[in-house]
Chains A and B, each alone.
Chain A
Amino acid sequence: MKEVEVSAKTVDEAIQMALEQLGVDEDQVEVVVLRKGKSGVLGVGAEEARIKVRLLPQLQEKDDVAKVAMEILETLVKSMGIVAEIRATQASAGELPVTLNIEGDDLGILIGRRGQTLASLQYIVRLIVAEKLKMWVPINVDVVGYKKRRYESLRSLALRLAEQVKTRRRPITLEPMPADERRIIHLALSDHPDVSTQSMGEGEARKVAILLKKR
């Protein structure tokens, strides 16, 4: 991990010097003040401020992550004999997680039953990226916005079913779902005043139940 130590008259000045040395912005580093420094009286008893600046590991490689991940996914998709284009989107420039969206026609084949193919593709991409960059980074792979739409419909389904549980005063169990989808249900209802959620079952058959909160 890259870090530098800098001394200057004031802490602010030292930070500026360190950032210049590293050629980065302040939000890409972690600053530790080692000594605040004193201005002294007429230069007598003055002490320099000393800081340590460390590059944040994820941000250090932020551009690389998107680029590396994109190349890997492109190679995978191509060697599967599928013609598609890949676009990387980030919450805001250079931020993680990176979402790679595969765009093209007839790509349902890449989603698979319950999104299984897509999950495998994402897993392999993460694995190879982790091997290349020597760290595990959050990368999402989507196919023509499938996951985004799926998550949105799961959220409204969760809210609708929660109302049913409330009025019928009986729990409802959803279809088996992969982990990421179960998470969406849990999150959607985490603040709900009347119901709680719980996962049950093992492996492929694991599913979420919406239960009435006990008073």
Chain B
Amino acid sequence: MKELVEYIAKSIVSVPDDVKVTEEADGDIVVVKLEVAADDKGRVIGRQGRVAEAMRTLLRVMATKEGTRVRLEIV
């Protein structure tokens, strides 16, 4: 799941080198943490959270496939 978020984020931010994605478990939930440069935060969230929402939708599909749950945090 990390790879997907990393690819999307790196493709749309202005400072791809500052993109950092980590994956950890919180009980039975996979928590994907996305970190970007301060100025890029708006880009990965998008207008009315549209980009973040789209990423969450895709992550949810992957989680369902693997029989788990996922949460995307933008920090």
A75 to B64, CA, bound (A): 20
Near A by CB (< 8 A), chain B positions 41-56 give 50-51, 53-55
Per-residue contact bits, chain B 56-70, to A (CB 8 Å; 1 contact, 0 not): 011001101100000
Tell me, yes or no, whether A128 is within 8 Å of chain B by CB: yes
> Which one of A16-24, A116-124, A158-166, A182-190 contacts B?
A116-124
Contact B62 A128 (CB under 8 A): no
Binding stretch for chain B, among A3-11, A42-50, A76-84, A96-104 = A76-84
* Number of A interface residues in the complex (CB < 8 A): 20
Contacts of B54 in A (CB 8 A): 119-121, 123-124
* Contact pattern, A 161-196, Cβ under 8 Å of B = 1, otherwise 0: 000000000000000000000000000000000000
Residue among A110, A116, A132 with the most chain B CB within 10 A?
A116
Q: Which of A100-152 contact B (CB under 8 A)?
A: 109-110, 112, 116-117, 119-121, 123-124, 127-128, 131-132
A209 within 8 A of B: no
**Beta-carbon contact of A72 and B11 below 8 Å:** yes
Candidates A116, A123, A132; contact of B50 at CB < 8 Å = A123
Q: Is A81 a contact of B58 with CB atoms below 8 Å?
A: no
> How far does the alpha carbon of A119 sit from the alpha carbon of B50 in the complex, in Å?
11
Residues of the A chain whose Cβ atoms lie less than 8 Å from the Cβ of B12: 127-128, 131
B7: A residues at CB distance < 8 A: 75-76, 79
**A79–B53 Cα gap in the complex (Å)?**
18
Query: Which residues in B have some Cβ–Cβ distance to A below 8 Å?
Result: 3-4, 7-8, 11-12, 50-51, 53-55, 57-58, 61-62, 64-65
Using a CB–CB cutoff of 8 Å, the interface residues on chain A facing chain B are 72, 75-76, 79-81, 109-110, 112, 116-117, 119-121, 123-124, 127-128, 131-132
